[in-house]
Amino acid sequence: MALSDPLAERMRPKSLAQYTGQQHLVGEGAVLRKAIENGHIPSMIFWGPPGVGKTTLAFIISQNLDRPFFSLSAINSGVKDVREMIEKAAQYKKGGIVPILFIDEIHRFSKSQQDSLLGAVERGLVVLIGATTENPSFEVISALLSRCQVYVLKNLTEDELISLLKNAIVTDEILLQKNIELKETEALIRLSGGDGRKLLNIFELLVNSANNKKVVITNDFVLTHIQQNMALYDKTGEQHYDIISAFIKSIRGSDPNGAVYWLARMIEGGEDPKFIARRLLILASEDIGNANPNALLLANNCFQAVNVIGWPESRIILSQAVTYMASSAKSNASYEAIAKAQKVVKQTGNLPVPLHLRNAPTKMMKNMDYGKDYKYAHAFKDNFIDQEFLPETLSGTKLYEPQNNPSESKIREHLKKLWVKYGY
């Protein structure tokens, strides 16, 4: 490792013992650690935000298993590069060795590029480890995804980030030459956004900006120096999340002007259109809901269209969806309903399903009164009959509360006629 390398590269772990975070995967007794220790690992996809150790973990796995490690980046590799790598892997396979092929940003691979990987995985020529910041359900072809185990990596916790800093201060050859006092860490942690690589890059920038050997890290010192260099950290960092936050809040706040402005900021910044479209899908239910059910249909159609069209024309489709949703009536009643329901479930546990609602596929179950006294709603006037659909102890618990907008006011009036016990 060269001293000219960035601090984050100099501090890259070389073993599981040095690896920080992802204890749910690589901690003692965790599923991935067991697979590594047993020497039998499947092809896998690491899904998580930037700077949480996806690439590092893939390399550590290859070292632990003493396997050749091939690495490609989807940004600058094509089908030809993949095929050449697979040919090299095939030579190892003849000797009984299965290399690890790491594909960084696998979500950027086209279908044809991913298809070129599929055959090698199926024939056992390589163990594929793909890394992605995007949901692999959307970005990885189903045939390849079905042959991979998906592991979700999480942002590093505050304690883990502080541990990275302290370890760098006492082990890095360059930092050891300076007198560094880590007095306050809140600003550093906030700017890092749970990204270990970004944290170390910011920290190195701060240390290098100090004019003397005594470096005291305080919140004011961090903000004073980093604000001037924030462009270095915008692409996947705090401003990225600030802008998507402003975008969502503008739509929620029914301001189409603010919403389309922040949309333009994301477009000009090179944001993935599918990321924006996915946020609209979530917002359509969370913030509009039954106040305007058409919003979800429009958002879904927008997502499908963006997948087909791409930039630059997708900006028009996104603008239509954004201005429509910002101008729409709003309700978070569906969001509140599921939140209440989940809270009740956590408080009450696994309450038994009432007998009349249970499935009765066998004679024994019928003899146990499964499904007995169930009333088929369509057999009654107006397709409704009053019966209990909650566990007995929760009878009368109202979880869905329609809000005061034209659409949900109609829903409330309808429910009021049906359900006296809920008090609509």
Q: DSSP states of 305-333 as a string?
A: HHHHH-TTTHHHHHHHHHHHHHHS----H
373 Ramachandran zone, left/alpha/beta (phi>0; psi -120 to 50): left
Band the pLDDT of 233: cuts 50, 70, 90: very low
The whole-chain average pLDDT of the chain stands at 85
Of 189, 226, 190, give the one whose Cα is nearest residue 205. Answer: 226
Bridge partners for 45 per DSSP = 130, 150
The pLDDT tens digits of the residues spanning 75-131 come to 777 778 888 888 888 888 888 888 899 988 888 887 878 888 888 888 888 899 999
CATH class of 158-233: mainly alpha
Average pLDDT over residues 217-241: 63
pLDDT band at residue 234 using 50, 70 and 90 as cut-offs: very low
Class of the CATH-defined domain 348-418: mainly alpha
**pLDDT tens track for 269-304:** 777 888 899 999 999 999 999 899 999 999 999 999
Place 239 in a pLDDT band, splitting at 50, 70 and 90.
Answer: low
Does the pLDDT value for residue 144 go beyond 60?
Answer: yes
How far is the CA of 24 from the CAs of 17, 29, 31, 146, 195, in angstroms?
15, 9, 8, 22, 17
Distance of CA 4 to the CA centre of its chain: 33
pLDDT score recorded for residue 8: 86
For position 287, what pLDDT does the model report?
92
**CB contact set of 192 (below 8 Å; sequence gap of 6+):** 51, 161, 198, 199, 202
Q: Where are the domains of the chain?
A: 21-152, 158-233, 238-327, 348-418
**Which of 74-88, 206-220, 373-387 has the largest mean confidence?**
373-387
Residue 310 has pLDDT above 80, yes or no: no
pLDDT in tens, 24-45: 998 888 889 988 888 888 899 9
Can you give the pTM of this predicted structure? Answer: 0.56
- Domain formed by 238-327, architecture: Up-down Bundle (1.20)
- pLDDT of 72 reads 84
Spatial distance between the Cα atoms of 77 and 86, rounded to a whole number of angstroms = 13
Q: Does residue 228 surpass a pLDDT of 90?
A: no
Q: What is the CATH number of domain 21-152?
A: 3.40.50.300
pLDDT at 339 over 80: yes
How confident is the model over 335-357, as a mean pLDDT? 86
Q: Which helix (H) or strand (E) holds 181?
A: strand 179-182
Q: Which pairs with CB-CB distance under 8 Å and at least 24 residues apart come from 205-208?
A: 205/229, 205/232, 207/175, 207/178, 207/180
Q: What is the reported pLDDT for 308? A: 84
